[in-house]
Structure 1
Amino acid sequence: MPAFDQAIALTSIGENLYGGATSAAYANMVGPFGGVTAATVLNAVLKHPALLGEPVALTVNFAAALASGPFTVEARPVRTNRSTQHWVMQISQADENDQASTVLTATAVTAARRETWSVDEEPMPEVARPDSVARPNMAAMVEWVKRYDIRILEGQIPVVWNGAGNSSRTTLWVRDEPERPLDFASLTALADVFFPRVWLRRATAVPAGTVSMTVYFHADGAQLGSHGTDWLLGQARAQALRNGFFDQTALLWSAGGRLLATSHQIVYFKA
């Protein structure tokens, strides 16, 4: 089983309840990589026997970092309509007093999609192909970055932390490593591969962490299936960095130019 599938693996332990455990392969500075945690809570929805349709939107609120070890995911459908379904989820984990403590809350919308008129208003930028872009040296960074093949076209992590940054935009090619067919769970994690925008805009390595992340899925399962293990082009930027928080918008296109997902985050940073 690929490392990603091991990391998001869940076992049914009761009605609306699943058991999981953190994976050292996706360790971050504090707790696991947020993208894989978001993918895990979405996986609980995807495994649920009452699921209607496919994911349209996912919002994850990181109340605290997951500690290494087991945790419990609750995924509950709170309303089901003819074509849409609304979900409430949470992850809990035993604290130092062996009491269940909530570390993540989330909501999701799934839907039975139908064919309609469609257009991508945000075109994929014209960029160099990934095989012509060198891999950045990220070996000394946190463990989870080793699970992705990343080729940065613009907006590299600063080499010199001198406070002289002037842009928050990063454009990169990315795919799972080892290669893995794209699906809703892996697309969720890929939406979070961008390092904190404040590092780039300020060129200062300040503490930062995502507080809330929303992913909108613009592709259905068949479209993701046809993507296979090909590259994704991702682009992320901040709109405002102020009073200890900044936002981050990210877009993910298929190699063929189809917009597959967009993501929005609010991130805490320490001045």
Structure 2
Amino acid sequence: MTTTTHAFDTAISLTDNGIGQHTGQTTPEYANMVGPFGGVTAAAIVRAIESHPERIGEPVALTVNYLAPVTDGSFDVVVHPVRTNRTNQHWTAEVLQQHGVTTTATAVFGIRRDAWSDTQAAMPGVPDPESVPDATVPGPVPWMRNYDMRYVQGDVPTEPDENASSTTTLWVRAQPARGLDFAALAALSDVFYPRVFLRRGAMVPAGTISLTTYFHADGAELAAQGTDYVLASAHAQRFARGYFDQSAQIWGRHGALLATSHQIVYYKD
């Protein structure tokens, strides 16, 4: 039987030299307006740390700083375990190309244990994904075609009218279907188009500078999600002097909060 590698796995495929340096290759399927989709870069960093022989536990937190666009071609991911404690481990990472460092990151991996749990956030009340039209964007941004996107609120603006709200909520999953893991969840944390597009009702130059994702689920909980949709919701707090923030939540269909994220974005107006 012939098996086909999912385009996402090809995009984050890395060769390992055994000492914490990995080499990858950009793919046209995950191209953005400038360079590759930031989410797939974050996913490649997660995959590099997961592959390291000294890694313990699973991702707990990841902060990715986008210094410059990754250009088409090969790139290196260098990861380094800075400190290992009893239940958590701290990492640094860099993405490098011939013209220099394009991306830096820090990550925390941890061994999760049974403990008292509670979820303070509330999942938005929305219709099931099957009752929401598929709004996958067929336009000039290739990476978006890799997701089945069903907007409940705040879909991509098509009219030049400002909106009072910066909130977007959508059901989303990989297209074609792929099981959810930590690398895919890291990418989904950056699945939203810039909030300034929604507020202004028009596309303006914008790009993420720094993205932090907190992983609340463990590997077994992610595996249980299978290829199902997740509910992703994001909003901004303030747009000022060329920067805005974004806070987001990623929920499983049945109400499990899988991840939260925060990012700062540069824009021109």
TM-score, normalisation: structure 2: 0.97
* Residue 16 of structure 1: how far off its partner (Å): 1.1
Residues 166 and 202, structure 1, Cα contact 8 Å, conserved in 2: no
Tell me whether 1:22 sits opposite 2:23 in the alignment.
no
Aligned to 1:244: 242
Runs of 4+ in structure 1 over 3 Å off: none
Say which is worse superposed, 199-208 or 25-34, in terms of deviation.
199-208
Deviations 1:68-92 (A, max 9, x none): 0001110100100111100000000
**Is there any run of 5+ residues in structure 1 with no aligned partner, and where?**
96-100
Residues 66 and 209, structure 2, Cα contact 8 Å, conserved in 1: yes
* Residue 230 of structure 1: how far off its partner (Å): 0.8
Aligned to 2:73: 69
**Structure-2 separation of matches of 1:243 and 1:10:** 38
Say which is worse superposed, 199-208 or 147-156, in terms of deviation.
199-208
Aligned to 1:98: none
Residues 136 and 144, structure 2, Cα contact 8 Å, conserved in 1: no
SS state of the match for residue 59, structure 1? strand
Aligned to 1:124: 123
* Residue 14 of structure 1: how far off its partner (Å): 4.4
Aligned to 1:139: 138
**Structure-1 separation of matches of 2:136 and 2:10:** 26
Aligned to 1:55: 59
Counting only pairs closer than 5 Å after superposition, residues 38-117 of structure 1 correspond to structure 2 as: 38-95=42-99, 101-117=100-116
Which AA in structure 2 matches 1:60?
A: V
* Residue 137 of structure 1: how far off its partner (Å): 5.5
Residues 136 and 150, structure 2, Cα contact 8 Å, conserved in 1: no
**Structure-2 separation of matches of 1:135 and 1:224:** 23
SS state of the match for residue 199, structure 1? helix
Tell me whether 1:169 sits opposite 2:167 in the alignment.
yes
Aligned to 1:201: 199
* Residue 18 of structure 1: how far off its partner (Å): 0.5
Aligned to 2:226: 228
Deviations 1:196-247 (A, max 9, x none): 0001012131110000000000000111111111110010000001000000
Aligned to 1:180: 178
SS state of the match for residue 116, structure 2? coil
Deviations 1:157-203 (A, max 9, x none): 111123x2211001100000111010000000011110000010121
* Residue 13 of structure 1: how far off its partner (Å): 2.2
Which AA in structure 2 matches 1:236?
A: A
Residues 135 and 151, structure 2, Cα contact 8 Å, conserved in 1: yes
Residues 136 and 149, structure 2, Cα contact 8 Å, conserved in 1: no
Residues 161 and 205, structure 1, Cα contact 8 Å, conserved in 2: no
**Structure-1 separation of matches of 2:159 and 2:59:** 40
Residues 135 and 148, structure 2, Cα contact 8 Å, conserved in 1: no
**Is there any run of 5+ residues in structure 2 with no aligned partner, and where?**
none
Residues 58 and 107, structure 1, Cα contact 8 Å, conserved in 2: yes
Identity %: 52
**Structure-2 separation of matches of 1:51 and 1:137:** 36
Count of equivalent residues: 265
Tell me whether 1:13 sits opposite 2:12 in the alignment.
no
Residues 77 and 86, structure 1, Cα contact 8 Å, conserved in 2: yes
Which AA in structure 2 matches 1:9?
A: S
* Residue 119 of structure 1: how far off its partner (Å): 1.0
